[in-house]
Chains A and B, each alone.
Chain A
Amino acid sequence: MNGFAAHAAFTLKRNRLALTALAGMALLCFLAIFGPYLAQSSPLSTSSEILSAPSKTHLFGTDHVGRDIFSRVLTAARMDLGIAFGAVLLSLAAGAIFGAMAGYYGGIIDMAVTRLVETIMAFPLFVLAMAIVAALGNSVSNIVYATAIINLPFYVRVAKTEVNIRRNSQFVEAAMISGNSGPRVIFVHILPNILPTLMVQASLNMGWAILNAAGLSFIGLGVRPPDAEWGIMVAEGAQYIVSGEWWTVLFPGLALMFAVLCFNFLGDALRDIFDPRKRA
C-alpha cells in the first residue's frame, strides 16, 4: 500500500494539471456544500436592476428579472453536482451488479444483460434520456434516473470483462470450494478487486453526466424555473445573447465547463494511477 501511495504521489506531482483539477474539484465540492450560504443575496430574490452588466455590486451582472447571477451560479453548484453524483452512483451500483452477474454466471443472465445494454446503446444516448424523462415525468429525480440509465452500459461492460478475467483465477476457486455462495463470491471476493477500475470509469463519466443533465434542463426538462441550475440559466440567458447581454450566458456556461474539465482531468489522472497501461 505504501508503494501505491508513493506511486499516486509521483503521478500527481508529475502531472500539474491533475493537481489543479484536484484543487478545482475541492472548490466545487466546497461550493456544493456551502454555496447557498456564501451567496450575497438570495438566488431567487428579484430586483429592479434588470440585465445590468457585471459590476462591483453584481460581480456577474443580473438576469432578466434582476436576480444576481453570481449568487445563482454559486447556489447552482449543489444542484448540478448533486444530479451528476446521484446518477453516476446509481449507474455504478447497478452496472457493477448486472455486469458482475453476467460475467460470473454467463448463460441466460449474460444474454439478458447483453440484450438490455445493446438496446440502450441502439439509441443516441441523449435522445434516450429525453425520452425517459418524458415517459417518467418531468422532475429532477427523473433526470437522475435517465442519466443513470444511459450511463449503465459503460459500467456493465467494464464490470463484465473484469469479472470474466478473474472468474477462473485461484482465489475465486478457493472461495467457491470453501463453500461460499455465488452472490457472496461476487460481492465479497470479486467486486472489491474490480472496484478501482469501476471508480476510474465513474470519474471519467462524471463530466459527461454533468453535461447531460445540464443539456436536459437546457431544453426544459427536469429542473424548473426559478430554481438555479447552470443549464437552465444558460437557457434563460439565451434569448438575450443576440442583443449583447453576454453575462447571462457566459458565467453559468463557464461554471459548467469548469466542472466538466476538472472531472475529466481528474479521471485521466486516476486512470494513470490505477491503470498505467491505458495511459494516453
Chain B
Amino acid sequence: MFRFICKRLLFALPNLLGVLVFTFILARALPGDPAAFLAGPSADPAAIEEIRRGLGLDKSLIEQFIFYIRDMAHGDWGTSWTTGQPVTYEILTRLPASLELTFLGLFMAVAAAVPLGIASALRPGSPVDNLCRLLSTLGVSMPTFFSGLMLVYIFYYLLGLSPAPLGRLPAFAPNPADVTGFYLLDSLLATDFETFKAAFTQILLPALTLALFAMAPLARMTRASMLSVLSADFIRTARAVNLPRRKIIISYALRNALAPVLTTLGMVFSFTLGANVLVEKVFSWPGIGSFALEALIISDYAAVQGFVLVMGILYVLVNLAVDLLQILGDPRIRMGL
C-alpha cells in the first residue's frame, strides 16, 4: 500500500515542476520592469541597474530559475507591491475564505448531484430524469457570475432573505477566534451560534452559485456511471437472489459506479477554483481570487505569480487526493499500479 502511494506521489512531481516553470516564465513575461518600478520614477539608469543586480535579474535564465525554485521552497514568494506584505502572508490569510467557499460549494453540489444522478439512472425518462437533465444543461450553460447576480437579485432585493453580498460577515460583526480560518467551523468551536448563523447566511448564496455550476457534470457522470453498472450481470444476479433493493443500489451498484464520479470530482474542483474568482468578485468575498484580481489590474507580479502557484499546487494536491481515494476504494486499481 505504502509503495503505491509513494509511486503516485512521484507522478505528481513532474506536474509540480511544470507549474513552477510556467509561473517562472509568467513572472518574466508580465509587463513592466520590476527594477525600474522599485527604483521609482526619478532613478537614473545606473541605480536601476544596481537594483536589477540586487534582484538577480542580470543572471542567466537557468540561474534565475534555480534561485527561483530555492526561494519558493523557502517560502519566500516575494513582496506584494500594493500592500508591502510578503505574498505568502497575503495568500495564507485569504486562502481559508476561498477554501471554505469552494468546499461548501462542492459539498452542496455532491450532496445534490449524486442522489439526483442515482434517482434518474434508476428511472430513465421519468420526471426526475428530466429534472436532472434540465439542471445539468442549465448548470453548464449559465455563466457563474450571471447566476450569482440573479440569486442576489431574487434572495436579497426581491425577497430580502439574504444579507447584502458584501463579504464573509455583516459589517461590524466580530470575527470568530481564528483556529482554522473557516468561519463556520471557528464559530462552532467557540460555540458562538450567533456568528455561525451570520457567517452561514453570508456564505449560502455564493456557495449555492458554485454548487449550481459544479452540479451539472457530477450529476451527469453519476447517472451515466450508474446506468452502465445497473445493467451489469452481477446486478441481475443480486436481483435474482432477491437482495434488498437498498443493498443492491448502495453497496453493489453505487460503490462500483463511484470511480468515474470521483475522477469527475477532481476535474470539477479545477473548474470550481476558476469559477471561485468570478463568484468572489460578485459577492465581494475576501479570498485569494479577489486579491489576484486587484493584483492583476495593477500588474503586481509577485502577487499574481503567488496566486497562480497556489492554484496550481492546490489542483495537483486535489488530483493526488482523488487518486489516493481511488486506490483505497478500488482494489483493482491497486493491482494495476
Contact = CB atoms under 8 A, between A and B. Distances in A.
Contacts of A238: 145, 149, 282
Contacts of B16: 122
A134 interface: yes
B312 A122 contact: yes
Interface stretch (B109-117, B184-192, B245-253, B268-276): B268-276
B107 interface: no
Contacts of B29: 135-136
A131 B309 CA distance: 10
A35 interface: no
Contact of B281 (A123, A218, A256, A260): A218
Given A118-B18, A215-B145, A241-B157, A124 B296 contact: no
A123 B315 CA distance: 7
A126 B275 contact: yes
Given A118-B14, A119-B18, A134 B149 contact: no
Contact of A231 (B143, B296, B316): B143
B26 interface: yes
Contacts of A257: 141-143, 146
Interface string A112-131: 00010011001111111011
Contacts of A131: 22-23, 26, 304, 308
B286 to A, nearest CB: 16
Contacts of A128: 308
Given A134-B30, A238-B282, A253 B143 contact: yes
Given A123-B308, A125-B270, A234 B143 contact: yes
Nearest to B280: A219
A202 to B, nearest CB: 17
A39 B144 CA distance: 28
B61 interface: no
B122 interface: no
A115 B273 contact: no
Interface in B51-67: none
B140 interface: yes
Interface in A188-211: 207, 211
B224 A220 contact: no
B277 interface: yes
A219 B165 contact: no
B157 A242 contact: yes
A175 interface: no
Contact of B277 (A127, A231, A261, A264): A127
Contacts of A256: 143, 146
A280 interface: yes
Interface stretch (A3-11, A65-73, A95-103, A243-251): A243-251
Interface residues of B, number: 52
B101 to A, nearest CB: 14
A194 to B, nearest CB: 24
B262 interface: no
A24 to B, nearest CB: 12
B152 A242 contact: yes
Contacts of B293: 219-220
Contact of A122 (B25, B145, B307, B316): B316
Contact of A241 (B141, B152, B304, B316): B152
Contacts of A137: 31
Nearest to A134: B296
Interface string B136-155: 01001111111001101100
Contacts of A250: 150
Nearest to B154: A246
B153 A241 contact: yes
B299 interface: yes
A214 B143 CA distance: 8
Contact of A234 (B140, B145, B304): B145
A124 B315 contact: yes
A12 interface: no
A135 B311 contact: no
B149 A249 contact: yes
B153 A246 contact: yes
A84 interface: no
Interface string B10-29: 00001110110111011001
Interface of A: 115, 118-119, 122-128, 130-131, 134-137, 207, 211, 214-215, 218-221, 231, 234-235, 237-238, 241-244, 246, 249-250, 253, 256-257, 260-261, 264, 280
Which A-B residue pairs are the 7 nearest by beta carbons? A126-B274, A119-B18, A253-B146, A124-B273, A260-B141, A135-B29, A122-B15
